[in-house]
Amino acid sequence: MATPNVDKMSLKDLLELEAKVQKAINAARDRERSEVKQALAQLAEKRGFSVNELFGGRGRGKSSAAKFVNPDNKSETWTGRGRKPNWLVAKLAKGSKITDFAIQSGRLCHPARRRKMTAVAHCAKAQWVFGLAKPKLRKAIPAFSRNALRR
């Protein structure tokens, strides 16, 4: 292969040569990549596997359940992540509270906190937190204080 004398080439010729070299480099990379992919596929098939089984695809992120719904159009929901949707911004601007659009999931407390409490204590705390009822004095005093009072 003849080596061009770049010292005597004009700027235009050098730029054309640079473009040709860049195209050749990209083509060689693509060719090399496809050869490696074919070799891996053949090796995996020879051993009884598929490439997807060995390397898998790109996994999707964890999706979260909807926490808010538009009462006018039930198909419009929001998970509580990212920007607030336009329908929610408009309703909040009119004076609605965000809790008006919350989807009732049946849980009144955080699940981690719920596991630490008995069902009766959870109901009493939830009623007190949401202002549905006042808790009895005994449940309002922490356990270590109740034991101190008994002595």
The answer to whether residue 57 scores a pLDDT higher than 80 is no
The answer to whether residue 19 scores a pLDDT higher than 90 is yes
Q: Are residues 100 and 116 in the same domain?
A: no
* Domain assignment present for 6: no
* Domain assignment present for 146: yes
Q: Based on the structure, what is the number of domains in the chain?
A: 3
* Domain assignment present for 89: yes
The span from the CA of 40 to the CA of 45, in Å, is 8
Task: Give yes or no for a contact between 99 and 91, defined as CB atoms under 8 angstroms apart.
Answer: no
Model pTM?
A: 0.36
Task: Give yes or no for a contact between 43 and 30, defined as CB atoms under 8 angstroms apart.
Answer: no
The answer to whether residue 126 scores a pLDDT higher than 90 is no
User: Is residue 78 classed as helix, strand or coil in its secondary structure?
Assistant: strand
For range 14-22, the mean pLDDT: 93
Give the per-residue pLDDT at 34: 93
Q: Are residues 21 and 33 in the same domain?
A: yes
DSSP type of residue 49: -
Range of the domain at 149: 106-151
For range 3-14, the mean pLDDT: 88
Q: Are residues 100 and 117 in the same domain?
A: no
Give the per-residue pLDDT at 51: 81
Average pLDDT, the chain: 77
More confident residue, 109 or 36: 36
